[in-house]
Amino acid sequence: RKEVEQDPGPFNVPEGATVAFNCTYSNSASQSFFWYRQDCRKEPKLLMSVYSSGNEDGRFTAQLNRASQYISLLIRDSKLSDSATYLCVVFQVSGGGADGLTFGKGTHLIIQP
């Protein structure tokens, strides 16, 4: 199965700082890309989709680099509430279609006061 790789961290970042992390994927035919957020012992929730042109949602910016096969997430002015695990998720074409989502293992972010 094609892989989605993330630095597990933890990233320890002071409140108010900017933090960025990347995710690489191995299948060049991947179609869609997402960042999910997972709080400790909770369910994953969609943070944002990642579009080819890059996209921004408040303090969060996602970028896609198809040539190098990576996506990135940038968090500006980090808040204590941003502490979580961020899952990189890639939709890769497979036989069944709906089973095409592959989840990375996650990057653990800790915002320190």
Partner 1 sequence: DAGITQSPRYKITETGRQVTLMCHQTWSHSYMFWYRQDLGHGLRLIYYSAAADITDKGEVPDGYVVSRSKTENFPLTLESATRSQTSVYFCASSESGGPSYEQYFGPGTRLTVT
CB 13 within 8 A of CB 76: no
- CA dist 20 → 47, 62, 77, 96, 111 (Å): 15, 10, 12, 33, 13
- Binding to partner 1 by CB under 8 A, coded x per residue (else -) over 1-40, reads x--x--------------------------xx-x------
Q: Is 107 in the site for partner 1 (CB under 8 A)?
A: no
Q: Which residue has the tokens 């909770």?
A: 42
- Between residues 60 and 103, which has the closer beta carbon with respect to partner 1? 103
Residue type, 56: E
Q: Is 109 in the site for partner 1 (CB under 8 A)?
A: no
Return the range that interacts with partner 1 (CB under 8 A); candidates 14-22, 41-49, 58-66, 75-83.
41-49
Helix (H) or strand (E) holding 55: strand 55-57
Residues of the shown chain interacting with partner 1 in the complex, contacts defined by CB under 8 A: 1, 4, 31-32, 34, 41-46, 49, 87, 91, 96-106
